[in-house]
Structure 1
Amino acid sequence: MTFPNDNMTREMLVVEAHIWNHTFNYINSMSLKRAIQLGIPDIIHSHGRAMTLSNLVDALSINNNAKSLDYIFRLMRILIHGGFFNQTRVNDKEEGYLLTLVSCLLLKDEPLSQVPFVQMELDKKFIDPCHSLSKWIKSDDDSSIPFEIAHGKPLFEYDERQPNINRQFIEIMANDSLLVISVMIKNYREVFEGLKLLVDVGGGTGIVAKVIADALLEKNCIVFDLPHVIEGCEGSCHVGGDMFKFIPSTDAILLRQWVLHDRSDEECIKILKKCKEAIPNKEKGGKVIIIDMVLMDRNLEKGDDKSYETQLLCDMFMMAHVSRKERNKQDLAKLFSRAGFRDYNIIPMLGLRSIIEVFP
């Protein structure tokens, strides 16, 4: 290839840097993982004020020598660049580290902590399937999944033999749902207006239903999940059953992100049809409230580029782990129509996720 002028040469150097940035991008993820493993967010939080490099190294219970100081300094530098920490002047000679809003969600005792999510997704077991994507794409076996190629079993069968993964997954779902519902109640209370009874399908142990009931005192919430999931849960608001067979009658149904997004279209349609059977018509206030990712159309929407990139990453993750995809508006419209619903409304909420009201 020839470079016709100096501008083209400089442009090629920018392009090269762009390629290098994507190539080394895993370093950002691994640096975040190291910070969590070392407990750095919790240490700085416990310190209660800006923490110097030397104090941080002492608190990490590692040798406070030139090597350790240099390593932690460089680790913190890339994490500061990523927005996980801030730096401020402590005295004439030293600067100290502070938490940001981002790192507040990396505290282990924070109810909305993202630590279980980071630990699971950056575990080798969940990274390995990405190395099998090329083999999967070239395979003639349409039933295979990259996760299965890497580990010999599909994800959910693999999880059954790994109780730690199941516990982590339940914790991740609970933390994520609490964050989303808290924002939803604060900013989109009108979604619940006029409803007297709400069924949280796949509601687990009932944490989200309790938050909704406490915040919206006039609402009654039923938690509906598999019998073994709600076993031991107190109160008459827990009902056991299979959402593919029936859902209790109600004014409205809540389907959070973890219910539909990793299921096939046919499975989603079956669930939605059961939802439709359980609620009254639109004129009487019946609806299904779905909280899920709606993949942006970058050509039609001026959305948040960072959120759009994250959605694309989630879509590739779905491909590698469960051979599914994140759905766009058109995909969702087809599902709703095939399930017998007449109308829907999408409310962009968190950048990544949306509230979707579906009406019979």
Structure 2
Amino acid sequence: MGSTSDSSIKVLNKEDEEALIGQVEIWEQMCSFTDSVALKSAVELRIADIINRYDHPIPLSKIVKNIENAPSPDISLLQRIMRVLVRRKIFSAEKSESNGETLFGLTRASKWILLDGTNMTLAPMLLLENHPLHLSPCHYVSDIIREGTKNGTAFFRCHGHEQFEMTGLDPEYNKLFNEGMVCTARIVSQAVISGYKDGFNKIQTLVDVGGGIGGSLSEIVRAYPHIKAINFDLPHVIATAPEYDGITHVGGDMFVSIPNADAVYMKWILHDWSDEHCIKILKNCRKAIPEKTGKVIIVDHILEPEGTELFSNTGFAFDMMLLAHNAGGKERTEENWKWLFKETGFPHYNIIKIKALPSIIEAFPI
């Protein structure tokens, strides 16, 4: 019988050990994209949903039988995907006491990639972030570091259009993009409503700038039905927005003007834009709200260079995605936010941590 041992590692001198560990670290980073490949495959095949329908762990044979549009499924290939996802704790694996088969079950992680019968899912966002349109610009990052973005972002160099132009030109991408935004809006909105407590109570009118098709705003209005709300976004986005009670959809350009309201709400908007663009947006926000009682409610991540909190690493990953996708978009530290507020007439701000990737940042004109 064969055997393996890593005892040779234990007798390495310190210099050789450090070199070996460094090599391992590079290999792991080099291949880390394969985790997303496996996870995307599981979502597209609806593996989590298949297991969930049985309400208990099931063998690979049952999973394969329930995969839709699979005329000749290869169970050996699926087994390799599941092996990776079990190792990453996306699914669980246990031996059947009756026949020794491996039974695959859900974990706390795989419950977030369900698509059937749940609104609280990250599956659409996962499909968006792993779509070729989103991944391909990453191959142009070194180019924009060398040359800057005067000739376009990495996204533009790859596709010939900037990201937000693409949503207006490609209906399929626009749908994928909106579905990704809607699913995260539900998750973040729930955390905002729970964590903001009395923040919305005194607001009579609220405008959601860059509100997409209104999913995030509808959650707020449902929790605070006294609010008269405006969902404000580009005309081609508003054109696909469904009707919601208490919400008026308005098409326009946030760089030109913003509808007047007691407060402005922006979820994951400012991180898409450069400081220069953010200054224009925030100045328009200041014009739209009352001088003495108005406020801007920003829901965005606060990057902490030495952070060790639950979402700290995800914040850095988002910053890398913004580097590839947007014209100057970036995640910001608290000092970055403070500087923006100072430049745009918001001398006071308040940060509220919530149970989500972003935080709430209140900015006040006095």
TM-score range, shorter chain: 0.7 to 0.9
CA RMSD of aligned residues (A): 2.5
Aligned partner of 1:247 in structure 2 is: 258
TM-score normalized by the length of structure 2? 0.85
Q: Does 1:267 align with 2:277?
A: yes
Q: Deviations over 1:67-115 (max 9, x none)?
A: x444323321211222211224443423311122322221223323322
Q: Structure 2 residue aligned with 1:9, among 16, 20, 33?
A: 16
Q: 1-side partners of 2:278 and 2:231: how far apart?
A: 19
| TM-superposed deviation, 1:35 | 1.2
Q: Structure 2 residue aligned with 1:45, among 20, 43, 52?
A: 52
| TM-superposed deviation, 1:25 | 0.6
Instruction: Identify unmatched segments of 5+ residues in structure 1.
Output: none
2:303–2:334 CA contact under 8 A, matched in 1 = yes
Aligned partner of 1:357 in structure 2 is: 362
1:50–1:90 CA contact under 8 A, matched in 2 = no
Structure 2 vs 1, CA of residues 243 and 7 (structure 1 numbering), >3 Å: closer, same or farther? Answer: closer
Structure 2 vs 1, CA of residues 151 and 227 (structure 1 numbering), >3 Å: closer, same or farther? Answer: closer
Question: Paired residues, what number?
Answer: 347
Q: Structure 2 residue aligned with 1:330, among 325, 328, 335?
A: 335
Secondary structure of the residue aligned to 1:11 is helix
Structure 2 vs 1, CA of residues 226 and 162 (structure 1 numbering), >3 Å: closer, same or farther? Answer: closer
Range 235-244 or range 12-21, more displaced: 235-244
Structure 2 vs 1, CA of residues 32 and 21 (structure 1 numbering), >3 Å: closer, same or farther? Answer: same
Aligned partner of 2:8 in structure 1 is: none
Summarize the alignment of residues 188-207 of structure 1 with structure 2, pairs less than 5 Å apart.
Answer: 188-207=196-215
Secondary structure of the residue aligned to 2:109 is helix
Q: 1-side partners of 2:167 and 2:228: how far apart?
A: 33
Percent sequence identity is 35
TM-score normalized by the length of structure 1? 0.87
| TM-superposed deviation, 1:158 | 3.4
| TM-superposed deviation, 1:255 | 0.8
Q: 2-side partners of 1:172 and 1:141: how far apart?
A: 26
Q: Deviations over 1:129-167 (max 9, x none)?
A: 212222332237633322222223333333433211111
Aligned partner of 1:71 in structure 2 is: 77
1:202–1:224 CA contact under 8 A, matched in 2 = yes
Secondary structure of the residue aligned to 1:246 is coil
Secondary structure of the residue aligned to 1:143 is coil
Structure 2 vs 1, CA of residues 113 and 236 (structure 1 numbering), >3 Å: closer, same or farther? Answer: closer
Aligned partner of 1:104 in structure 2 is: 111
Q: 2-side partners of 1:155 and 1:102: how far apart?
A: 29
Aligned partner of 2:147 in structure 1 is: 139
Q: Does 1:173 align with 2:204?
A: no
Structure 2 vs 1, CA of residues 206 and 63 (structure 1 numbering), >3 Å: closer, same or farther? Answer: closer
Instruction: Identify unmatched segments of 5+ residues in structure 2.
Output: 1-10
| TM-superposed deviation, 1:357 | 0.5
Letter in 1 for 2:34: I
Q: 2-side partners of 1:195 and 1:183: how far apart?
A: 19
Q: Does 1:276 align with 2:286?
A: yes
2:124–2:180 CA contact under 8 A, matched in 1 = yes
Q: Deviations over 1:167-217 (max 9, x none)?
A: 111111111111101122123323223223322222233332222122223
Q: Does 1:341 align with 2:352?
A: no
1:230–1:238 CA contact under 8 A, matched in 2 = no
Q: 2-side partners of 1:96 and 1:237: how far apart?
A: 47
Q: Structure 2 residue aligned with 1:213, among 221, 235, 238?
A: 221
1:247–1:274 CA contact under 8 A, matched in 2 = yes
Q: 1-side partners of 2:160 and 2:218: how far apart?
A: 39
Q: 1-side partners of 2:165 and 2:256: how far apart?
A: 22
Letter in 2 for 1:250: A
Aligned partner of 1:83 in structure 2 is: 89
Aligned partner of 1:58 in structure 2 is: 65
Q: Deviations over 1:287-342 (max 9, x none)?
A: 111101211131xxx532x6222222211211112242222112211111111111
Q: 1-side partners of 2:133 and 2:114: how far apart?
A: 24
Q: 1-side partners of 2:212 and 2:154: how far apart?
A: 28
Structure 2 vs 1, CA of residues 129 and 206 (structure 1 numbering), >3 Å: closer, same or farther? Answer: closer
Q: Does 1:292 align with 2:300?
A: yes
Letter in 2 for 1:220: K
Aligned partner of 2:5 in structure 1 is: none
Secondary structure of the residue aligned to 1:190 is helix
Q: 2-side partners of 1:62 and 1:336: how far apart?
A: 58
1:181–1:208 CA contact under 8 A, matched in 2 = yes
2:178–2:213 CA contact under 8 A, matched in 1 = no
Q: 1-side partners of 2:16 and 2:83: how far apart?
A: 30
Q: 1-side partners of 2:30 and 2:237: how far apart?
A: 42
